[in-house]
Structure formats: structure tokens, C-alpha cells
Structure 1
């Protein structure tokens, strides 16, 4: 259950203290199936599996939650084709033009007939709450999906003032400096991919490097030409690799052999014990990484008035 991407929010110690009733709050917001005329539903499912009952799973001060969703698959092309067929039938049989109001009514009729027969696509977003350090960590690189996850928590809790990251150091400038001069913070080393852009124009040149020596003269020439780093592949302490974006989203997160060897050292008796081990190992590694990320870019935990 290792996360593959990280979108981050922060919250204060006061907010953390108010999370003691999380289990009960989520209970009233379980995922239910789409009704016949619903396009989508959203709610919480058990992180232990959709057939399990508990909606949270905690190891120490960190709590795993899962936001589930069901969405009807009804392509616009299908709706439009059926609508056009009905409009054409009226024109041919009644010899009159269909106005805007009638067109809208006909389209709703089409939706009402097709929705109950549409396929349902389930999805799930995992997240964990670190009450001790004030992090909400969502396993997605999509800002839209992350905001939807935070909104689901706010709806369940009534209030959850977790805020997006507001770095004191500009990520683009700092990463560009790391790549240009090769002087990275202790424990951090360059990976093998990056994305460079010319920030002067909205349609400026974009250079994407993969499986590339980032200390090469070719990359340095792009930087001398005024391009800046928008994404940078990095490795932390030889244990975690990722691609860090200027939005401070961590993509392509991967735990390296040293971490995986620790996980495989002991056998577990059950699937739940395996989940506990993976979750504990992942969150301990990320605790170290996020503490350094906070130090590099200036990401203080919000005060109790947040």
C-alpha cells in the first residue's frame, strides 16, 4: 500500500486535537452506491478493503483513511447522438423546429433513460493524517483530486482547516540553484530526470530529460540559457526517490531497496499485520523526508489560530 504520489496539506496542533472524533464523524459519510439517476457519489470506505467495516486504521499518531467514489460512465457522444435522433424524429413527423427549452427537456429525458443502464466506475483515494506533525498526505498528484479529498474530510468533520503549502523559499528558484551548482542539501542527490522551462513566456521552450545525467554540460547549457527547473528527480538518503515539482507535489515516489529489505526481513501472519508493517514503515520514512522538505523550503506548521 505504498503511496506513489504525495500532495500535502498542513494543519495546526489545535486542529489535531479536534480529530479525536474522526471515526464517528466518518461513519455518517460512508460511500453508498449510485442511485438510478445519480451521476456520482462519494464517501469513505475502509482502508482495509471495501468489505471491511472500520473507516480508519491507525498506527501510532498516523491514521489511514480512504475516500471512495462511484461515477456513472455516460459518454457525451452517446447522449448527443440519442438527442439528435429524437430531435430529427420530431422534425420529420411534426414538421416543426425544436426550440432551446424543448431541447433541454429532451436531453434530460435522454439522461433519465440512459443513466440507470450506465456502467459504474469505482475509484479510491488513500490519505493519511499525521496528528503529531500536522500533515495531511494524499496519494495523488492531481490538485483537483486532492481538493476533493480535503473537501470530503471537511464535510464529515464539519471543519478541517488544513491549508495548502505556502513555501517561504521559491521551489523553482531553489531547485534551479541545486541543479545549476550541484550543491544539494545533506542527504539529497540528483536523480535522472527533470523538466526545464523558459519562464519568460507562457509558450516558451520545454525540455524534459529522462534517464539523463543531470550534471551534464547539455543540461547546464539550458540553465545558462535562462530555463528554470519545474520538476526535478531526487533521491533522499538512498532510501526514497521521487520527482519534486515546483508545486511541491512529489510524483513517482519509490522506496528503494534498503527500505524494502527491512520490510521483507520479517514474515507477517495476516494481511492486516502486513498492512500495519507497510504503513508504519512508509510513514516513518516520509516523516523524515517531510521534515527535511519543510526545512529546505520553509513550510512551518500553522499556528493554533489556523
Structure 2
């Protein structure tokens, strides 16, 4: 009986203490800062403790001179990813094509930069090939029969073709096979730099090892004179600028050919001889019989 009484008294005291505790405001007060930081982690025996997370490193923003920027179309968003490390970077990207986040993974900014240089090289070769025969043929340096306007040399079959060693269809497929081989090798070198030195190619493969940068592979085949040894950055910038100019020039050659039916050298000579009669306004007037101006 004494034991039962003692236990009853103890239970009553516990209930009263609980009421006092939960009835006070302290019971509903916000936990302290120390209590909120407490964490309980259960680990298996022998399991190593997880490494602590490092604090994020501060991002150092590279300052660029205003003289290095193309002021039209430059925004703070562009400057977040156009930091001047690419040759010919003037901060101009109005469509956000080089934005690694804005592209959404659909467009690879590295591939775009690489493609611009490659297309610029093709354009420089193309414009030189368009203008040179017309000039040299007119000067009598090469036979007149080979000094053709570029679109009558077979580039546009309906405009005529030169009497080559084979018919145009044969030459077309020969060009397709040769270009396909060259472009596949170039693509492999881009995705797997240095891989072309491992594929046997008549003993020439060592010259295709590259430099690790597919845009500027170097070596005895692609840089036999070892150019840019001391001023590589300057030469890369000049190449990009001249490539962009050549791409615009090639577009102009095509438009002029469609409007006037003449080559670019003939168009320049006509404009110099008659600036007011042979110009852009007069050429637009020939389209549809009326000038939009």
C-alpha cells in the first residue's frame, strides 16, 4: 500500500510539473540560435565523415577598356561571358548566341567561336578566288579564257561552265568526296584533339598531331613558317577581323552578281568611271523597274 501511495504522489507531481511547463510562455518561445544549429547524423560503423563544404570563391571580374569594345549592342549581360579571352571579342553579341546559359545547351559557344574562324578562312580564300581571275584575265596575265567571272566558272551551272578536264557532274562528285574526307578529319580533330596523329596516313600523320587547340593546329602542315611565334594573340585578332570582312565581302559579291550580272572587279571599275550612274541606288532601281528610294 505504501508503494502504491508513493507512486501515486510521484505521478501527480509529474503531471503538475508538466502543466506548469506547457502552460508557460517559455514552452512556446523560439528555440535559441545554438539549438537551431544542432544536427544529429547517424553513420554506420567505420564510415568516414563527409568533408566540409568550402566557401564559394570570389569571382574576379576582368576590367576591359572601352576602346576594346564595340559600343553598339554591348550590354552588362554580354560582358558577363564575353571577357576578352577570345580573339576579336569586342563585346558585340546582340542575339546572345555566345551566352552559355541563354543558349540552353542547343548552341555550343566554343563551337561557334571555332566555326567563325573556319568560315572566315573559307571566305578569305573564296573572295580571293572570285576577284583574282577577273583582274588577272583583264590585265592579260592569264589567258582570257580562264579569266572568267566567278559565277560563270561552274559555281552556278545555269550561268555556264568552264571546259574542265571532265564534265561538271564528275567534278562535282570528286569535290564532294575530297571535301567530305577533309571535313570529317577536321571534325575528328575538334572533338578529339591530337587523334589524327594516331591514324596512319601515308606516313604524314605526325604532322597532323596538332597543338591541342583545333582552331590553331600548327605543325609543319598548317603552319610551316612557324608564324605567330612572338605575336600569336595579335595575329589571331587580325585573322578574325579579316575573316569577318571577307564573309561580308562574299555576301556582297553574290548580291552584286544577282543584281548587275557582273563580277565585283567590273562593278568597281564601273563605279569609279561613273560614280553617279553606277552605284547602289541605281542598282536598286534596276530591280523591278523602280527604286525603293
Which band: TM-score by shorter chain? under 0.3
Specify which structure has the higher proportion of helix: 2
TM-score, normalised via structure 2 length: 0.19
Structure showing greater Rg: 2
Query: Higher strand proportion, which one?
Result: 1
TM-score, with structure 1 as normaliser: 0.18
